Amino acid sequence: MDLRLPFDKDGCKIAGIIAVIAICLGNIGTNMGWLGFLMTIGCLAFFRDPERVHPSKDSIAVSPADGIVLKISECPAPDELKLPGTWQKISIFMSVFNVHVNRSPVTGIVEKIFYIPGKFFNVTLDKASDYNERRATYMRLSDGTRIIFVQIAGLLARRIRCDITEGQTLEIGQRVGIIRFGSRVDVYLPNSAKILVEEGQITVAGETIIADLKRKEVEDDRKQTREEEL
């Protein structure tokens, strides 16, 4: 039987410390005790980590984060990876009210992980992708498709915890780490992928399908076949 608590491990530790402080404050005054109690509840709420049921469909990518699709654009891959060409980028913004545990968007092997120290600009700004503290993960799927997801620290976020290692095989929807407080995750997908979300759409980590990695390629093949038949 799985008795796992629906909270991230860091949250349990921090909430435990706050709870002890709350008990001490309660001995000083009732109001102080209630304040500590509310802080404990607030901490657990922020570090909540509910179970998710990921889609079983092949050749898809799911959202790595709870939040809202901030922007969809075409741009080069992060400089650290030194990859040619352009990619489709989906930027997902997480407010302080969202679940902040991040999940793998695909099933595949972690080929590279880069940590880049930087600034803490507001993550709604485009420059956050280039200047903020971040961690980029480069993954390869079984069919050779590559994707990238980047955890970006924000104005309030000051720590990105990574729970995966290079060479590790991840399952779609598997937990990969957490960014504390408001932050952002960018997903870089190949141009052959069909984007299935829109700007302003709410996403659920591990469950919301953000792209079909083969659909555009199939559609192009079908279009070419029809043209040849005509």
Report pLDDT digits (tens) over 71-91: 999 999 988 888 989 999 999
Write out the two tokens for 142. 């079984």
CA distance 105 to 122: 24
Residue 69: φ, ψ to 5°:
-70, 110
Report pLDDT digits (tens) over 127-166: 888 888 899 999 999 999 999 999 998 776 567 889 999 9
Quick check: 178 pLDDT over 60? yes
Q: From the DSSP assignment, how many helices (H) and strands (E) are in the chain?
A: 4, 14
Q: Where are the domains of the chain?
A: 9-46, 60-214
Report pLDDT digits (tens) over 186-225: 999 999 999 999 999 999 999 999 999 986 554 555 455 4
| Contact (Cβ atoms closer than 8 angstroms) between residue 10 and residue 17 | no
| Contact (Cβ atoms closer than 8 angstroms) between residue 149 and residue 185 | yes
CA distance 62 to 55: 8
Write out the two tokens for 204. 């659920």
The pLDDT assigned to 224 comes to 52
Amino acid (1-letter code) at residue 114: F
The pLDDT assigned to 93 comes to 94
Write out the two tokens for 108. 């595949």
Q: Which of 194, 179, 199 shows the shortest CA–CA distance to 68?
A: 199
Quick check: 173 pLDDT over 70? yes
Q: Provide mean pLDDT across the span 17-29.
A: 71
Q: Catalytic residues, which ones?
A: 183
| Contact (Cβ atoms closer than 8 angstroms) between residue 136 and residue 148 | yes
- What residues contact residue 130 under an 8 Å CB cut-off, 6+ apart? 79
Report pLDDT digits (tens) over 94-112: 988 899 899 999 999 999 9
CA distance 114 to 78: 10
The class level of CATH for 60-214 reads mainly beta
Lowest pLDDT segment from 34-48, 59-73, 214-228: 214-228
Q: Provide mean pLDDT across the span 42-64.
A: 87
Query: What percent of the chain lies above the pLDDT cut of 90?
Result: 49
Confidence grade of residue 48 (pLDDT, cut at 50, 70, 90): confident
Following DSSP, what letter does each residue of 88-111 receive, concatenated? EEEEEEE-TTS--EEE-SSSEEEE
The two beta strands, 169-170 and 86-94, are unpaired
The pLDDT assigned to 4 comes to 62
